[in-house]
Structure 1
Amino acid sequence: MLTEVAGAPFRWAAAARRARAFHPTGVVCAGSARFSRPAMDLVTLSGADVTIRISKGVGTPRGLPDVGGVALRLTVTDPRTDRETLWDLLPATSSRQAVRLAIPLPAMAWTSATFSSLTPFRVGSHLWWLRAELVGDTALTDMAPDTVRSTVDAGDRLRLVLSHARGPLGRFTPFGSVDLTAARHPDHVDFDPIRNAPGGVSMFPDWLATLRRSSYDQSRSGRPDTAISPVPGSA
């Protein structure tokens, strides 16, 4: 009951905007992933094909800073069942200094931004943080999703480098990367990092995972679009 009340503002915001409550403006791309080692020493990549959505959190006008988001849908091997499963990750812009703090921060440009999981994942008795950074042959000097789309459409290299760190003092080390290969239209993909996760990996703390689940559900229910691709296993 309390989580439904807490999530209600997301439904109202989505209804008012006729779009996602947050990150309403974005570009969806296809990509190719590779892992040099298991993510968080547990999760292995099962398929190379990846769906990526790069978006602005508030939707500020072009040229203004905004909280950026990189949503990833990976196909991985579930360590508990040894079967393929989806893993949705939603890092948001932070800073290298605050990457382990649950504080999203606005950024000025895609390729100078640091994306963070903000809160850790619990794997066994350990907590892991994820970090991502966009690198390319050409610097992207603003936070407009169209800049990403035009870069990918032009065939210029744009890569998302993924790193992880164990514990609050652990060093971030790369474990994989995703190359953006083609922009897709329209922007109709839903991501859910709570429901789409491999076994043995959970968001920490538990109460935040419960709140985020309610927020995603409420935002989804408040949107008028019925063309949104459903998330497997979601209501």
Structure 2
Amino acid sequence: MVSGDVVGRISKGAGTPGTLPDFAGLAWRMQRDADAQVPWDVLTVSSTARVVLRPTRSWAAAEYSTLMPLGYRGGVYWLRARLVTPLSGDGLSVDAVGDGLAAGTVAFEVQQARGGGPFTTLATLSFDRALCGDEPECDQPFDPTVRSGAEVTLLPHWLTSLRRAAYRNSREGRGAE
């Protein structure tokens, strides 16, 4: 088993207020390996059938998918995640995530599947505190099109190019570039 520091973001995609349904988002940044200078960003969103965005009514009901497969050493892989820590409250409230972090850890099980095969457990992500935004880890927006695992690529390549441009335009629009 390998463990290491992970910085994550749990968010509502459209930013609906309070407990209203939304697209639930889970992003995390980790080191590729002990020697890597470039981290690996993974972005997931509530979905169904691996590739279809799906709004959800609660964090626990969401199945998070990368929406795009990952290419690795000639294989095609999918990643998905599921919340394993019960959160209090009803609906999709960001406050419930904060309360969960205040009470301990908020954990997600990450699974992988090769091609159309079944999913198997790959890792557990455990978040133990909320960052206030002043930490250096908070300065860089998540972008899996420029920060990915060693030998890992987002597929298909043409969609990766479109996604890279969208992320770049979003950062420029927010003044984060």
> What TM-score, normalized by structure 1, do the two folds share?
0.68
Q: Unaligned 5+ residue runs, structure 1?
A: 1-35, 37-44, 229-234
Q: Deviations over 1:113-157 (max 9, x none)?
A: 1001111011122110001011114455322222101210122x4
Q: Deviations over 1:33-77 (max 9, x none)?
A: xxx4xxxxxxxx5x6111000111111121211001101001122
Secondary structure of 1:213 counterpart: helix
**Counterpart pick for 2:115 among 163, 167, 170:** 167
> What residue is the counterpart of 2:85 in the other structure?
136
Q: Do the aligned partners of 2:31 and 2:40 also contact (CA within 8 Å) in 1?
A: yes
> What residue is the counterpart of 1:8 in the other structure?
none
The structure, 1 or 2, with the larger RCO (C-alpha pairs under 8 Å, 6+ apart) is 1
**Counterpart pick for 2:132 among 153, 171, 185:** 185
Q: Over alpha carbons, which structure has the higher Rg?
A: 1
Q: Do the aligned partners of 1:94 and 1:105 also contact (CA within 8 Å) in 2?
A: yes
Q: 1:185 offset after TM fit, Å?
A: 1.0
Number of residue equivalences: 173
| Distance in 1, Cα, partners of 2:150 & 2:123 | 20
Secondary structure of 2:129 counterpart: strand
Q: 1:85 offset after TM fit, Å?
A: 3.4
> What residue is the counterpart of 1:158 in the other structure?
106
| Distance in 2, Cα, partners of 1:52 & 1:162 | 13
Secondary structure of 2:38 counterpart: strand
Q: 1:112 offset after TM fit, Å?
A: 1.7
Q: 1:84 offset after TM fit, Å?
A: 4.9
> What residue is the counterpart of 2:169 in the other structure?
218
Q: Percent identity?
A: 35
| Distance in 1, Cα, partners of 2:89 & 2:47 | 17
Q: Do the aligned partners of 2:32 and 2:150 also contact (CA within 8 Å) in 1?
A: no
Matches within 5 A, 1:1-235: 36=1, 48-77=4-33, 83-95=36-48, 98-99=49-50, 101=51, 103-138=52-87, 141-155=90-104, 157-168=105-116, 170-186=117-133, 188-189=138-139, 190-224=141-175
Q: Unaligned 5+ residue runs, structure 2?
A: none
| Distance in 2, Cα, partners of 1:179 & 1:104 | 24
1:90 counterpart letter in structure 2: L
Secondary structure of 1:53 counterpart: strand
2:126 counterpart letter in structure 1: D
Secondary structure of 1:110 counterpart: coil
Q: Which runs of 4+ in 1 moved over 6 A?
A: none
1:111 counterpart letter in structure 2: A
